[in-house]
Amino acid sequence: MNSQIKRIPMYVKAPLITFFLSLFLSSLGSAQVFEYESVTDELLQHPPTEEWLSWRGTPRSWGYSPLTQINKENVGELQLVWSWAIDDTGSAQAAPLVHDGVMFVPAPRGVIQALDATNGDLLWEYRPGVTPSIDGTDQEITSEDLGEAAMPSTAFAGVGRGVQKNIALYGDMVFAATENASIRAVDARTGLLVWESQTADPSLGYFYTAGPIVANGVLVTGVTGCERYKEDVCFYTGHDPLSGEELWRFSTVAAPGTPGGETWGDLPLRFRAGGDSWQSGSYDPELNLVYMGTSQAKPWARAVRGTDGDALYTNSTIALNPNSGEMAWYYQHLPGETHDMDETFESVLVDIDGRDSIFKMGKLAILWQLDRQSGEIIKATDAGYQNILDVNPVNGSIRYRDGMIPRIGQQIDMCPSTSGFKSWRAMAYSPQTQAMYIPITLNCELATFGPTEQVLGGGGTGPVRRINYPHHEADENLGELLVMNIPDGDVKWRYRQRAPINTAALTTGGGLVFVGDWNRYYYALDAESGEKLWQTRVTTSAQGFPMSYEIDGRQYIAMPAGVGGASWSGSLPRDLAPELNRPRHGNSINVFALPKAQ
């Protein structure tokens, strides 16, 4: 294994938790004792309708809550019942979880907070370098303790570093992946650190933005920070949730002499970059396969990175056995991708017409339907917004259009921009309508890809000189919620507006879809017709993963807000909608419910 692993400390079994809680209560300040049922594999796969146990609700990643109390008839009565400010020390794209009445919030820079989900009261807080470990020792990570675990001041500050999108619940612990390229476990009842395992050297650029998914008792996590040339590549790992021990490692870039290695030509391994994992995976327990996505090869343009091959396993969906790390299959959506068109985002598992399917969409707004068992392409549906390539709807093969393969120093006119139409803002599926609800940003770019130096530490994304402009069919609108029927791929309806849609989508059993935008608005739409039924405004841009839960018969909608982000949340609104503004602070969780009956 390539990792340097150190646990601090080993897992302490449940009967000792009360003892340690009493011993360190003074260190925790406001920590409170609360009932907490251990989270099992069965509970994750079949969660109570009132809970939200996985980053997209369940391991199938639908982004759907079956709750019906809030519905099309009464959603207009929603009111704020509590809010909570989270750290402004970094970009916030929070995906909260709720279990046993407790909301677990992933905040920037590794902070995790447990809140009373009915009123927002703080129950405990884990803060790196401050919170004690479960055995009472100071858990601050230093180079002396964990070799390269502490992020050096010289570490490459890659796009997204400091973001903590999602966490995972399993057993009696909360699991997270960190900006310093480690995976950690925190006790769910106390907020005390249980263990931390280092997977890579952060000084080489490695870090995490997405947390683990639990698959058949294994933590499966994908690393990012693979832009720069180094004597290593990106990877997925499987970890033991009790001890933090690394069980296996799968490299997302094929090395010379291994299957797929020839697709990089004669490039040595040190000059094969990319294959990052920006989003957490999904899991099918019947097939015992976990589905992960990889980003593009780097540098972005073929001419810059020096290869014309497929560059496996970049821009692929990969199915792994979570217990062994063995690859069952892969599907490369864009072989030899050359424009920064990621296909690394969420994997939505839906059974359609008797076919166990997986749905994916990347920056080009092509909806891919694959067979979950074999990886065989079922259908590729192009939403029709991009001008870069043609895709065969039956076999998924692609052909770049004339003049669209970048050459160094020559400008091309491409839609979308390198920000993409679809990005990390996850789509949601509704079993009521059998439709996919997809946040889209409508934009294009005049792009000029430049050279980079092929030396260790070099590489990076390209670079690219970009001039953003609005999509010619968008009527100056940047934001769109695109709704596509499954499985035929027909457009059910579109909702467009000036401000970019800036959150994942949430669908509910009440016939609703919730999304939020860069201009600080959240709103609820009729999932069948697209009619806007309610809206509210939050502290800063709506940003993150909205979700729903129920406690004591009352349904809640949690809506994150946040700052930070890449070009989709920086240069695009600034260049293309300059009249819109957002505060530079205001990371928060905002929770809404219907008024209580009098």
Q: How confident is the model at residue 88 (pLDDT cuts 50, 70, 90)?
A: confident
d(CA 167, CA 104): 8
* Strand, helix or coil for residue 448: strand
59 upstream amide cis, omega within 30 of 0: no
Q: What is the pLDDT of residue 205?
A: 92
Q: What is the pLDDT of residue 9?
A: 37
pLDDT at 12 over 50: no
Q: What is the pLDDT of residue 137?
A: 55
Q: What is the pLDDT of residue 133?
A: 80
d(CA 129, CA 87): 15
Q: What is the pLDDT of residue 54?
A: 98
d(CA 160, CA 280): 14
Q: What is the pLDDT of residues 25-44, one digit of tens each?
A: 434 444 566 789 999 999 99
Q: What percent of the chain has pLDDT over 70?
A: 90
pLDDT at 10 over 50: no
Q: How confident is the model at residue 479 (pLDDT cuts 50, 70, 90)?
A: very high
d(CA 44, CA 54): 7
Q: What is the pLDDT of residues 544-590, one digit of tens each?
A: 999 999 999 999 999 999 998 877 777 899 999 999 999 989 999 99
Q: What is the pLDDT of residues 371-419, one digit of tens each?
A: 999 999 999 999 999 999 999 999 999 999 999 999 999 999 999 999 9
pLDDT at 19 over 90: no
> How much is the mean pLDDT over the chain?
91
DSSP conformation letters of 82-98: EEEE---SS----B-EE
- Mean pLDDT of the 346-352 span: 97
Q: What are phi and psi of 393, to 5 degrees?
A: -70, -20
Q: What is the pLDDT of residues 515-551, one digit of tens each?
A: 999 999 999 999 999 999 999 999 999 999 999 999 9
Among candidate residues 415, 465, 458, 468, the one with its CA nearest the CA of residue 440 = 415
- Exposure string of 10-45, with b = 16+ CB inside 10 Å and e = fewer, is ebbeeeebeebbeebeeebeebbeeebeebeeebbb
Q: What is the pLDDT of residue 152?
A: 52
d(CA 30, CA 44): 29
